[in-house]
Structures are given as structure tokens and as C-alpha cells.
Structure 1
Amino acid sequence: MGILKRITALAIGAAIMCTAVNTVFAENNNRGDTVNIKIDGSKANTSENLLYRGQGMISCNGSSRLLLDYKEKNPESYSKILEHLYGKNGLKFTHFKVEMGADVNTSSGTEPATMRYEDEKADVTRGAGFQLAADIKKINPDVTLDMLWWSEPKWVSDSSDVYAARYKWYKQTLDAAYETYGLVFDYVSANQNERAVDTDWIIYLSKALKSEKDCPYDYSEIKIVAADECGTWGISRLMMKNKELCDAVDVIGSHYTSFADDTTKKLAEEYGKELWFSEGSSPMTYAQSAYRFDEGNSGLTGLNGVLDIANRMITMVSGGYMTLYEYQPAVAGYYDGVTYCHKQLINACTPWNGYYTLDSGYYMNLHFSQFMDKGWSFIFDACYGDAKVGGDGHALVDAKYSYITACSAEGDYSTIITNTTSEPITYNFEVSNLAKAGNEVYVWETRGPDSNQKYDANYFKKIATVTPENNKYSVTIKPYSMITVSTLNISEPEFDVPQESDNKLLSLPYTDDFGYSDEFLASRGNAPLYTTDEGGAFEVAEKNGEKVLMQKITKDIKANEWGGTPDPTTNFGDDRWYNYSVSADILTDGKDSYAGVGLRYILADSGRSGYSVTLYENGNWIFFGGKKKILDGNIADFDSSKWHNVKISALNNDITVSVDGEKIIDYKAEEGGYSAGRAALYSSYNNCCFDNIKVEATDSVQPYVNKFDNFDNIFTYSENGWEHSTMDSFKNYKRTISHGAEGGYLTVDFEGTGIILTGAQKGDTVVSIELDGKTVNKEYAVSKISNRQSFLLINGLEQGSHTLKLTVVSGSCSVDAAQVLYDYEAVNKAVTNETSSVVESTDSSDSVSEDNDKSAKSNGGKGSFPFVPVAVGAAAVAAAIGAGVAIAKMKKKKD
């Protein structure tokens, strides 16, 4: 490889300056409330490997799965989402990386393998990644492509020659990507994601690609990225000791660190290696309401907040010479509650209605993407970051001065600055040796809301036009904000995004008999609508001449774990489903196999969630709450060779299960119940089958809930007695939680017929409860429960405005979210009369006939819920359901 070639004599000087960055930065920074930045175009580093490469996204861990459903059901929204990311008026992403899946959970879900068997033709229609790459290429043909493996098919790992088998997998996947979608890959990542560096394999892959003759395009041009370590640069030290390895690696990538060590920097400066931030986080904070409680009331601060991520992208330049930042994920195309969820620039998890949101991080990113194009040169003298690594080990903390500057060959320049302090900071600019040094500059700002403003009122706004005097000017940045100062005069982007009213329910009843067209299935690797797999692979297949849903991963082909995979589990539907049932025809597959159904699926990290029942081939059954076994039993004379219908139903805290119409379980949750959530299917690692899925309301008045975070404005907290965490575990809704101590109180103002409060509890808490000014229970003992479980349910109220007051009498009470029940029929009718239905629905003759006439007892005390009686009859159920979504006509039940 040799010493990298410098393009100009001035660039040689810039390279020398890079080796003394600390001295240079000290000259630019007076360590006060005023900072002097000298932007000298003659010091722009034009070395090719140090030019700005832009930003990209990674499609992995099932994070893009639901985008396929957007494409099918709402193609306009799908196209807009990709335009937001890769279009010239959006984030202008330049890079896309896809996970080479292995059907194991690699954090937030599974990615299907392109080759489950050695003799199988590679199928890149499985999963969303390769199809996304093809559609992104239509938006910007210059986007570069990469692929990386977390785990590999078992036939590869078990091979007597693993490298040859692994190369076969790589090569045939590349072949299939070209054959199916015309994709030409620019890069392949060699090493296993975030695992020990395999130098011999990296060299093997490089040599094999460079000598490949049997290929649809020149594979020798594909560059090697290594080693995708997490927070370290061990590959660099190995490259310095091994010339063959050094020659094999074109790009050094590392995850979740903005700083490179001296050895890695030397490889960039002297050997021409590109350095990438090859996996980085998106913001995790719930800015929509976090501004009520975070530092500066901005919604942008804290660990993994918007300004933290912006600082990582700034610091990666001065601290690491990195030129590309890859988001994981950029768009969250998976359901809420998966591991590491609430981490995105765009949230897209309701494909049936086409709704999506551009989150705060999206607008943060515009400060980079709209003012720095791929190929711009960094002026390292005008780049600086004093943040330190802290918090979770990925975050940057204690940043005071943080900025980067880049310029174009035409003489434009941009400086991006953050301020994470409580005081304004003034930046004095002096510009020289650029064609546009004396031009007007435009100042764009993102900050939190002023009093009585919406949370995003000040996102990405042009706030000033500044005319330099003798190429000098000053700009002041407000506390807890970021700005871009640029000679580029862009128009304020206008985004045609869905409105909150577009977030329509997936209505009940909902059915699927998997009778999809062959063309539809071929376009998406046989995946049905709306399912997301946490373990295994649930695909439509033929069984005795009929299309059914089959779990495809068996123990003999299950890949080695990357992290940890639950037994096969898939979930689907609307998070707002509450009082409903799930039924399915199931067929087990051999000794010790099982299949089952579940509902109120809310947290995917352990596979099982909500309530579920699994039925074994020998007639044994197990009933679960979360992953905890609650009840078990046996069905006598069970014939596993036949299909059986299993149904689980929930009405508030009453759960029933029936098999072939015979009730086997009648359970009442007397401690923490599970509230609204999706439907789920469960299987052992066998080819178990499912058919005739039907999800129905069990209560015509209250089948659904509206969800609210504990930071939303329906919550009001006493000034004392509460601590609010704006960045907590993904196991909490929106990653937020509020902890109330003795004497602290809160009120919740809601519109509906009932309310559920959720949050993990230690079991040492007593609270008093008032409703609409009247005491319901003076000493309600809160049971010990886990994340997202309900600790309080009040129901049976008249539809209308209500106020709940909760006071902590003793112990500590944690509040995560509220779910508000409402009279669906009345509300939907009112909205329909005014505008349009709140429910996404199509004509259907299906109706619910099961009699759910029940009366709940009002009681209190430990392990019970204050509960107002409510009665629901069969006539009301049948009248209220009306239309629903039906994918295909139901088949007759099998015998």
C-alpha cells in the first residue's frame, strides 16, 4: 500500500498539522466563553482517505422488517421514508450496510439466512436488507454497499474447511444480490461483528475476491472493511505487524467510539487507510416530552441524547480521523419493546396505516447532511472536541467546546457546533484562503422549545444571515443547542409527513390464513404480513397442498449464537390491542415439539411476553405470564397428527384458554397484569405449523387503549418527591421512568373510561388513590412486578374527562406509562361524524359472537386492583365490531 499520496503541497502541510492537533486546537480555543476559530482553506486536508464520506445506515437485527410491509400496504410512505434518508432534500445518506443473517437473534430480532443449507441456492429476498439496497439505489445510484455477518449458517461453522465454506456463502450471496436486484457491492466487511479479529480469514477473503473469475462483475474491486470491533482498534496493531493483513484491509471500522488510537491514526496518515465509525447509535431520548425534565428543558441533552450523538459525529473527526458514520438503526422498522428499542432517526412501526415520525435525531442530522457533501475536505485546525467518554461507555460527556469544519473545492465551508452547557458561547470566526471567505454565512439552529411552544418548534431553523467584515464575524450559540454556520444558502426543507390523526388502529377482527399469492411471497422470502421474528423463522410454506405458516429452523440447522436467541417466536399487530383473543389452528412436528399462541406481547428481549400458552405433541400444555410458568396440565387422548385450534382470550385481568372449543384455563391476574400489546406465535425448533389466525375483540366497548408515556402532558408531578430519568433501560416505554418517594404525588388527566398505570415495582410500596376528587383506596399495596406490567387498573367509568391522583404513602413507586381505555364505539362514531375514522379498516362480514358478559369485583389490598364494575354483552360486541381487516378469506378448519 505504501505511504499515501498527497494531492497538493498544501495538503502535505495539513498532514503535518494533523500530527500536532492538540497544539493547534489550543490556539483556536481560549477556554473561556468566547472561542476563536481560524478557518484557513490552505490547510484543508485533501488526502483522499480523509475526505468526508457522509453517513449511512445498517439494516440488521430485524430492524427493517416492517418496511417490507410499508412497501406492500403503503408504498407512498415507504418511498418517502427512503427519500428522507437518501434523497437530496433529506439526509443524503451515501452508504448502506446489510446484515448477512443466520436466523439467530443478533440483538433486536433475527435476520434470515440467505443459505440455510450448503446446496441451497442463495435467496436474497429473505429479510428486508437486500431489497432495501435495491430501492435505495433507485434514489441514489452512487450509494455504496457493504455487508457484514453476526453469525453464519451452521453448515459453514460445521465445515471441515470453514474458510472455503464461508467464502462460498459470501460469494453466492453476492452472486444472488446481482442476479436478483442488480446490486454491485463496493465493500464487504470481513470479520464477525464485534468479535475477536480473525486475521487469517480477512486475508483469505481478500485473496479469494481478488482472484475470483466466476463472477457477474469485477469482485477484485470490492474493498475489505475490518474489523468491526466494539470500542477498540486491535486490528490496527495486527496490521502494523502483518504486511499481508495490512494490504488486505482497505477500511478500518470500529463501533461506538469517537476516538482512534495513535496506531490507527498512523495507518490513516501514512498508509492511506480510511477510518469509519462503522456502527454508531441513533439518539435514544424521547424528545417529544423529555424536554419537561431534562437538562435545560430542551429534550436534546443527556446520555444518548441528540447533542450526545451530534458530539460523537463531531469528535470522530478530531478524535479519530473517521470520515463515515453508520447509524444502527436509522429507521426503526420494528415493533416497540425489542432489545435496544427507542433508538432511531425515523420511527416506522405501523405499516397498515403508513404512519411514521421524523424524530429529533433526524433534524440533528440535517445540520451535517445539508451542509457537508461527500468529498468535502476537513480543515483539522478548525475541528475540535473536548468531550470525554462516560456514562454507558459509548456516550460523550462534559463537552464544552465541540465543532467541526469542512470545505468544498469551490470554496464553500460549513462549521457545525454544539453547546451542552448552561451558558451561551460566542464563536469568533476568521476565514482565509477560501474563494468564499468573505461571503455571507447562514446560521441554522436546533434547540428546545420556549414556553408554550411545541417540542420541535425550534428544530432546524435558519435564525440569522451574517455578513463578514474583513472576513471576520461572530456567532453566539445558545445553551443546550446546536448550530451550523455555512456559506451554503439552502431553503428550509418542507417534509410531507403523516399527521398524528393518520396513526389509525389495525382494527379487530384481524385474520390471516396465509393464502397469499405466489408472486407476493416470492417478493419477500415467503414472509407473511406484519410478523417480526425474535427467534426462528416463520415463513409461508405448503403443507398437504395448502399454504400455512411454518417455523423453518430446526435444531440441526440452528446457527451458533452471536448473543442469545429465544425459542422461535414471532409477534404481530397493534400495540394498542387490549381486550382481545388470539386463535390459531396448530400442528406440532414430532417428539417434544410444541406450538402456541399469545397476546399482550410488549417486551421482546426474552422471547416470551404477555400471556401465552404452548401445546406439546403429547398433550401437555403450559401457560405463561411473561417467561414465568403459571399453570400446566395435560389433554387426554391428544392426537398430535391432527390440527388443533388453540385460543387465548383476555378481558381486563381475566385470561382464558381453550383447545378445540374446550376451556382448559380460567385465570385471573391478581398481581401485576400485562396490559395492551401485540399477538404472538410460539414454536419449538421444529417445523410446527399455524393456520387460520384470528384476532377478535372480547369487549366491544374497550378493545383498544391509547398509550401515553410518563413524561407526556397528561402527567403532572408534585415539585418534591420525584426523580425523573430521561434515559433509562429499553425495557421501559420510551426509555423513561419516574420514581416517586414518600409524600410525592402525581395526577393524570385522561379522556376515557379507565386507566392502567405500568412500571416495575419493588413490592415495598403503598399508595393512596383518588379519582375525580374522591378517595378510591387510602392504602393500596403495590405488588412486586417487572417492567411494563400494570400495577393499577381503574375501569368502568363513563366516557369523559377524569383525573387520577396517586400519592406515595411509603416505599418508592415507579411510573413508566399510562394506557387509557375508552369507549371505542362512541369515540369512533364521534370522530367519523367530524372527520374520518380512527380505525384502519376494510369491509368484512366477520363479527364476534362469543358472550363476554362479565362483572368484575371491586377490591383492594396487596395483589389486587381497584376495579370499577363493568358489564359487556354479546349484543354490544357484535354491534360495535363492524368492519375489520381481513388479509384473505378464512379456510375451513382442518381435521
Structure 2
Amino acid sequence: MRRRRPVGDRKWVRILMATVAAAVTGAGAVVVTAPAAQAATTTITVNGGSTGRTFDGVGAISGGGGNSRLLIDYPETQRSQILDYLFKPGYGAAVQLLKLEIGGDANSTDGSEPSIQHTRGDINCNVGYEFWLGEQAVARNPNIKLIALPWTAPGWIGGGNFWSQDMIDYDISWLNCAKQHGLTVSYIGGWNERGHNKTWYKNLRSALDSNGYGNVQIVGDDSFGLSTADDMLSDPAFKAAVGVVGSHYLCGYLGDATSCPSSANAVATGKPIWNSEFGSQDYISGSAPYIRSVTRGYLDGQMTGFVNWPLVAALYPNLPFNTTALAVANSPWSGAYQLGRSLWANAQVAQFTQPGWRFLTGSASGYLGGNRSNGSYISLKSTNNTDYSTIYETSTSTSTQTVNVNVTGGLSTGTVHVWSTNLGSNNPADWFVRQPDITPSNGSYSLTMQPNRIYSLTTTTGQGKGTAAGPASAPLSLPYSDDFDAYASRTEAKYFSDMQGSFEVRPCAGGRSGQCLQQVTPVRPIEWQDDSDAFGLVGDPSWSNYKVSVDVNFQQGGTITLLGRANTQSRPQSHQAAYQLRLNNSGAWSIAKSTTSGTVSTLTSGSRSSLGTNTWHTISLSFSGNQISATLDGAALGSVTDNSYFTGQVGLGVVGYQTDMFDNLSITPIGGGNGGTSVGPIRGQASGRCVDVPSQSQTNGTQVALWDCNSGANQTWTLTPSKQLMVYGTKCLDAYGQGTADGTRVDIYDCNGGTNQQWTLNSDGTIVGVGSNKCLDAYGGGTANGTQLVIWTCNGGANQRWSRS
């Protein structure tokens, strides 16, 4: 039965063309009628006596930067569950390599990681969360290998010169701090994606040796390309200093990773070759390039170590790369988290191998049928010289693939255990699933594999899939406040995420007792991406109508900033969409608007009497619809009308790097609740894509559709007490023309209280129209960008189920 086109839908021809040759049943089941492709067969000999390079591990990066920030603030139960899924052997990803950022007080992608030395000689080994994360990883897997790498550095280093003795000394101090936390670091890099200085690397090697870190290997050079290997062959001392040839995105950046070459010179060094940063893709849709980067990385480039960026997206969802990771954990107040298909792609390798295993050569590793379009596979044998595992990926295949395997060379001919992940399914139940065991006959067996899968075959045991699950996502409710008195000195405030500079809790100044939040980076750092004012963000990006107030203390002359409705951030961090109250100690003030293009425009301004320094004042910003107003010490400064942003977090900052203080942060709702209950993005279970208002249109009648989640204002929804799903603060999700028939399009329209604008969000993930009693539905079971949304009779289809994440 083919659906009739949605009422009022002018794009129905395109949709019908997309369903040609398919029979559509119900709202989401599409039965493809094309004939099945012919199966291919590959004969493989897994010979334990034919060994290649040593496997160094698969893992991920915490850093580059701020992407792990919110994890430490999760409730202990959910925090432990997430950590288990990342690190615990036989449970989840079972990460074998963990790269930790050596923080430097400057933004290195999604935030600023704090330095252990904001100023020369003042070392704080308990700064931030990287050492804590390393402790958690080692507690779960004592065999994990830790890597350290800086992206940025404090401004006092070398007078602004990274390639200096100061930076070497700084690295040694960081390693000393790691040792205080019981952490053994196995590898250290130079400067992320900034090339290499041969003399500096040689000096770093000498410093490591003379300070008791002779076993720490240097990775060179964590940049793009393999010029490190070229220089190693022409400079024996440099070659002796570098232990691992490491390069980024050897399979291509944000590509399909179907080809992963290294270089002849890299192989000729005889050193391990690592894809020392790969990934940067969505936690669900990036899983196929993920596994290809590993299997084809070895086949094409002799790579033996693989480090995905990043480990976890424990960052605010309005920041860049907010779903790029193995798991997403952006709601610490609710405890909600989501595991990615990429997490299980990592498990398909890490739960079946260990660093120190040897790759097997000959036909034991290769391309199925000798054709890379069929898929690839790698075999490795254990250090016990008996057990082995083979990892297959059929992600580029359009047909079934059969392998006939013969095991020789002293390897076990016993039972083979099989696990698989369906890379084409968005249902977690299809990820990392145990299949029936195989019993070889005289060391031989066969397996027929489906297209777009990962299969791991092993003679080892101990694999497993954790069963813990987090609660449903919920908003950070208002009112919210923090007086900072509950924290120890020199720690971070709960939920506060540094974007540039570093904000720490310190004893208050200006005659005030207790603890305050202070910006403690005194000069511009050595940066990895562009400069900006020092600031940080806190709160729920879907907050709408509220008043934010804070006490401020100028420690030097300059300008303090209070941000509200901080919305989407683009790169670099100065491209932060927000409203700002900018207050100078001279008394000059302005309400300004900053944008994702990096512009700051004044909406209104004025001046009051001088505020001086080291005295306390209270400032506030209030938002109600398109009305924005500001106060100073309870007296009105000014107000303005603007329609740019209707939701967003709050933020605190300074213009430049003044070491100003903040206290008694308070956010209170205007108009009740959060101006509605925060929902945020609404993600389709079948598609992994979000309910989106195309082109950020605010025009009545614009039909909503699926689109890649990006945390834009056009994907941020608020559930009001009257069951409206509101976007932009004034527009409601609407069944067009008060329609109730199957296929009625869903659009946005001025909120008017009609039942066609009221929705019930059910615990099973369905969103049901009050007026129609029908489900929000991705038309035709579509999952692609641009798939339009309609209402349809509820039928349990995955295209009618939505998550608030």
C-alpha cells in the first residue's frame, strides 16, 4: 500500500521517487524488491607461524579539548556506568590507549583545559579532570596505556615560544603530577598538529631519560603527513629520540576511510606507525569509517596503533562536535547518556585483541576476494601463541561474503566464538551481538557474512556487553544558583565549562569571606586555535525566559562580561552566539550581541559612575520573549528588543585576561518554569537525526524535517505547560490546517493554543498530537536529511519514536 502525499506538501514528487521499487507497509517498513547480489567466497589460511608487526592497541582521546568536561559532574551511578562502558574489559569499548591532554589554559576545540601552572612555579597537580579520568581508566583496566599530548601552553612558557626548554620542563612537571596520581604514562607527544622541531624532540628525550622517564616513548609528530619519518631516516639522533611515528587522519579527514596509506619511509624507520588521531565523526554514523580505519590502516599502511578523537562527548550540545565520540554524555543533572555504534565498533577490536599481540600475514589478513569493495579483515595471535582473533568488516559490500578458513601453525583449532555489529541499524540491540559458536573440523570452518557488518571471531573468552542504561534526559531546572562556597580552593565549579582561559574557585577578595569563582589565566596563552576573551558557560542550552544575576569584583581595570541565551558556538570559541552585558570598571556599559561569525554589535549602551576595583557589584540580564534588560546594583541600566536568540545558557567572562572574581550566580525563571520545560533536540530513533526547521526559517507554515543534529536554535524545542513544543520562543510545532488525517504535514506557526499545537511526549518515545491522536512520523520511514515530518496513525515504527538528547 503506497501512501498518498501529505496534505499541502509541494515536494511529494521527490519523496515518491525515493520510494520507487519499494513497497511501503505502515509508517516505516520498507521492503526492497531488488534481487539479492551474488555471494562471494574467500579462502583464508590463519597461520600462527606467519607473523607481522606488533599490535599497539585501539583507543581514544580525552582532550582537544574540553570534550570530557561534564563527565566528572555526573551522578556517581551513571558516571560509573559510562566509565565502565569506556574502559572495563569485557563490558563495552574496552579502550586500550587513552590520550590525555596536557592542558594549557586555551581552547583546543570545545573548551579550554586548565594548566597545572597558570604562572611560573605555581604547580597544582589536582587541576581539572584529566588526571581523575586517567585514574578511573586504570582502575578498570590496569593494562591500559596512557598517552600525553599538549595542544596549548601557558603564556609564560618560553616568552610565548612553545619550542623552548620551558615547555620541556612543563611536560616533566605534568608527568610528575601524573605520577602523584598513580599514573604511568607510556607515551608523550610534542605539539598537536604543529609539526616538529628536531632539536626540541632530542632535548625532550634527554630530559625524559634524566628525570626517570626513560620508558616513556615519544610520538612524533601528531600532525598531518609523515615528514617525521623522512627526517628520521636522514637524522639518526632524531630517529633515536622518536619511538613511534604518529600522524593524524591517515585514512582522510571526515571521509569514508576506504584507503589508509602511510609511506615507504614510515615503514623503513622500523618504528611503530600510528594513526594517532582519527575519527572526528558522529558516535553513530561514524562507525563504518571507524572500523575501516583500523583494518585498512594495517593492510594499507602497516599501522599498529589507532586513537580516535574523542573519547566521549561530555560537553554542552550547543558546542561544535557535540555528538562526535564513542558515547554522548551531555546531561549530568539528569544522568542521561547514549552509547554510540562507534563504541561497539571499538569493542569489536579491543575485546578480541590486546597490545602485544602480533598481526598475522599472508592470507590471514587482507581484502575479501582480493577486492576492497567486498570488505577487509585482519587476524592477530595472542602472546600465548595459541589463541587468535580475526576481525572482518563488510561495510562496503553489497552482497554476502563467505570465508573458508583453515587454521595452522600451532593455533587453537577449538571452538570459535562469533560477535557482530550491524552497521546499518540504529537499534542498539543489533550492536555487538553474540552469534552461534563455530566448531572447526580438523582446523577448518566456514562463515557467511551479511553486508555492512563487523564480525569478530576468536578462540578467547571473556567478551561481554554491558546492560546498564541511563535514565531519560531531563532539563536542568530553574531556579539554579551557585555561591561557590561548597568547593575546595583551586577546583572547578560544577557544570562550569571553560571556553578560554581558566576559571577556578579561590578565596574571595574585596573584604568578602567564603569562596568565589576567579579567572586565573593572567596573560594570553600559547594557543592552538584563535584567541578570544576568557569566558565560560554553564546551564541548559534550552533555557529561554530567565533572569541571570551575579556579583562581580574587578581585580584590575577592564571589562567584565555576563552572557545570556548563549546559543550555538562555531569555531573558534569567539564565534559564540549570545547576548552580553559588558561592564567596564569606569562605569561604561553596553548590551551587545555576538554571533557565530564572530561579530559583536552593540544594541544599546550608556555609562554610570566609576566602579573602581576590588569592590563588589551585582549585575543582571533578563530575557522575556524578545525583550532584554540589564541592571547594576538593582538599578536599571537599559533594555532593548531583539529577535536573534530565544534560548541559551549563561556565561561569565572578561575582555582579555583580567583575573576578576564572580560570586552568587543566580538564574531564575521569568513566567514560570523554564519558560517551559526544556526538551532540547528531538532525535529520531530510526534516523539518528533531529527535528529541524529548515534554513532556520521563522516563517509560519515552514514544514519541519529531519536533519543532522547540530544544536541550533532551529533544533531546540521547549515543552510548555500547555503541551506546546515551542521553538524560537514564539513558534509552535503545528499540524497544518488543524488536519488530523494521515500524512498531514507538521510545520511551525505562531503559538495560538490550538489542540493541533499540543503534543504528548510518551515514555515509549512517541510524540502524539492531542488534536489528532496521531504520532509524529518521519514520512515513508525516511532517514535522510530533508525527510519531511507528518502525523500518522501510531504503529510502533522506529520512525515514530524520538529521544530527547
| TM-score, normalisation: structure 1 | 0.70
Q: Is the 8 A contact 1:447 1:458 kept in 2?
A: yes
Q: Which residue of 2 aligns with 1:609?
A: 577
Q: Pick from 322, 326, 345 the counterpart of residue 345 of structure 1.
A: 326
1:674 aligns with 2:645: yes
Q: Which residue of 1 aligns with 2:520?
A: 552
CA distance in 2, matches of 1:817, 1:147: 46
CA distance in 2, matches of 1:374, 1:147: 18
CA positional deviation for 1:261? 0.6
CA distance in 2, matches of 1:124, 1:243: 36
CA positional deviation for 1:64? 1.7
CA distance in 1, matches of 2:86, 2:539: 26
CA distance in 2, matches of 1:471, 1:254: 39
* Count of aligned positions: 691
1:247 aligns with 2:249: no
Q: Which residue of 1 aligns with 2:141?
A: 140
For 1:126-165, what per-residue CA distance to the aligned partner results, in whole angstroms no more than 9, with x for missing partners? 2211222123222233322221122222222317996322
CA distance in 2, matches of 1:356, 1:529: 18
CA distance in 2, matches of 1:816, 1:513: 46
1:496 aligns with 2:468: yes
Q: Which residue of 2 aligns with 1:186?
A: 186
For 1:83-120, what per-residue CA distance to the aligned partner results, in whole angstroms no more than 9, with x for missing partners? 22221223322222221121111111111111122232
CA distance in 2, matches of 1:449, 1:104: 39
CA distance in 1, matches of 2:298, 2:197: 27
CA distance in 2, matches of 1:154, 1:386: 52
1:537 aligns with 2:502: yes
The aligned runs of 1:368-447 (5 Å cut-off) are 368-381=349-362, 382-384=364-366, 399-408=373-382, 409-421=384-396, 423-435=398-410, 438-447=413-422
Q: Which runs of 5+ in 1 are unaligned?
A: 1-30, 288-299, 388-396, 738-747, 760-766, 775-781, 783-790, 807-813, 819-837, 840-895
The aligned runs of 1:456-855 (5 Å cut-off) are 456-490=428-462, 492-500=464-472, 503-518=473-488, 521=489, 525-542=490-507, 543-544=509-510, 545-546=512-513, 547-554=515-522, 557-603=523-569, 605=571, 606-607=573-574, 608-627=576-595, 628-641=600-613, 642-670=615-643, 673-684=644-655, 685-700=657-672, 702-709=675-682, 711=684, 753-757=723-727, 770=736, 772-773=738-739, 794=751, 796=753, 800=759, 801-802=769-770
Q: Pick from 53, 62, 66 the counterpart of residue 62 of structure 1.
A: 66
Q: Is the 8 A contact 1:106 1:563 kept in 2?
A: yes
Q: Is the 8 A contact 1:112 1:127 kept in 2?
A: yes
CA distance in 2, matches of 1:768, 1:796: 10
Q: Write the letter of the residue equivalent to 1:247.
A: A
**More off after superposition, 705-714 vs 661-670:** 705-714
For 1:571-611, what per-residue CA distance to the aligned partner results, in whole angstroms no more than 9, with x for missing partners? 11223322222111223344342332323434364443232
For 1:516-535, what per-residue CA distance to the aligned partner results, in whole angstroms no more than 9, with x for missing partners? 243xx4xxx42111100111
The aligned runs of 1:35-54 (5 Å cut-off) are 35-45=41-51, 50-54=54-58
CA distance in 2, matches of 1:494, 1:793: 45
For 1:730-759, what per-residue CA distance to the aligned partner results, in whole angstroms no more than 9, with x for missing partners? 57589x99xxxxxxxxxx999963334579
Q: Write the letter of the residue equivalent to 1:115.
A: Q
Q: Write the letter of the residue equivalent to 1:223.
A: Q
Q: Which residue of 2 aligns with 1:94?
A: 96
CA positional deviation for 1:200? 0.7
Q: Write the letter of the residue equivalent to 1:225.
A: V
CA RMSD of aligned residues (A): 3.9
Q: Which residue of 2 aligns with 1:322?
A: 303
**More off after superposition, 413-422 vs 98-107:** 413-422
Q: Which residue of 2 aligns with 1:77?
A: 78
Residues 1:617 and 1:260: Cα distance change in structure 2 (over 3 Å):
same
The aligned runs of 1:141-220 (5 Å cut-off) are 141-158=142-159, 163-178=164-179, 180-189=180-189, 191-210=190-209, 212=210, 215=211, 218-220=212-214
Q: Is the 8 A contact 1:571 1:601 kept in 2?
A: no
SS at match of 2:170: helix
Q: Which residue of 1 aligns with 2:32?
A: none
Q: Write the letter of the residue equivalent to 1:182.
A: G
SS at match of 1:92: coil
| TM-score, normalisation: structure 2 | 0.78
Q: Write the letter of the residue equivalent to 1:563.
A: Q
Q: Is the 8 A contact 2:335 2:471 kept in 1?
A: no
CA distance in 2, matches of 1:700, 1:346: 34
Q: Is the 8 A contact 1:98 1:146 kept in 2?
A: yes
Q: Is the 8 A contact 1:106 1:564 kept in 2?
A: no
SS at match of 2:354: coil
SS at match of 1:506: coil
SS at match of 2:310: coil
CA distance in 2, matches of 1:753, 1:119: 57
Residues 1:227 and 1:803: Cα distance change in structure 2 (over 3 Å):
farther
Q: Write the letter of the residue equivalent to 2:516.
A: V
Q: Write the letter of the residue equivalent to 2:454.
A: M
Q: Which residue of 2 aligns with 1:261?
A: 263
SS at match of 1:585: strand
Q: Write the letter of the residue equivalent to 2:72.
A: L
Q: Is the 8 A contact 2:153 2:527 kept in 1?
A: no
SS at match of 2:659: coil
CA distance in 1, matches of 2:101, 2:707: 31
**More off after superposition, 434-443 vs 137-146:** 434-443
Q: Is the 8 A contact 1:586 1:595 kept in 2?
A: no
CA positional deviation for 1:224? 1.6
SS at match of 1:183: coil
Residues 1:156 and 1:610: Cα distance change in structure 2 (over 3 Å):
closer
SS at match of 2:299: helix
Residues 1:444 and 1:264: Cα distance change in structure 2 (over 3 Å):
same
CA distance in 2, matches of 1:327, 1:540: 32
Residues 1:42 and 1:366: Cα distance change in structure 2 (over 3 Å):
closer
CA distance in 2, matches of 1:373, 1:532: 35
Q: Which runs of 5+ in 2 are unaligned?
A: 1-36, 251-259, 695-701, 741-746, 760-768, 778-784, 790-802
CA positional deviation for 1:510? 0.9
Q: Write the letter of the residue equivalent to 2:196.
A: V
**More off after superposition, 480-489 vs 564-573:** 480-489
SS at match of 1:364: helix
CA distance in 1, matches of 2:526, 2:517: 24
CA distance in 1, matches of 2:408, 2:786: 57
Q: Write the letter of the residue equivalent to 1:426.
A: Q
For 1:229-274, what per-residue CA distance to the aligned partner results, in whole angstroms no more than 9, with x for missing partners? 12x1100000000000111111111111142111101223xxxx12
